[in-house]
Amino acid sequence: MWAIVVVLLGMLTGPQIFVVTDTGTFPNQQTCQAAIKASVPSKLDAKSKAEFAAGYRQYVCVRVHDAPK
């Protein structure tokens, strides 16, 4: 199972990682990455879209720990 997380890294605040999707939403990495391509950046607000375009905000597929293969 795979989930989408957003990763932000600040000089003073350090890393911030938020799960964007419910765990188990995607059965494999390919469908997870396809969901990112279909939704990002079109569904972001103006500030988030600017952060994404500048590389400050990244959306990543992460395997759910201890999930069955």
Domain ranges of the chain: 2-63
Q: What SS3 class is residue 1?
A: coil
This prediction's pTM? 0.83
Q: What pLDDT, in 10s, does the model give residues 27-51?
A: 999 999 999 999 998 999 999 999 9
Q: Please tell me the distance from the alpha carbon of residue 61 to that of residue 21, in angstroms, as a whole number.
A: 10
**Proportion of the chain above pLDDT 70, given as a percent:** 94
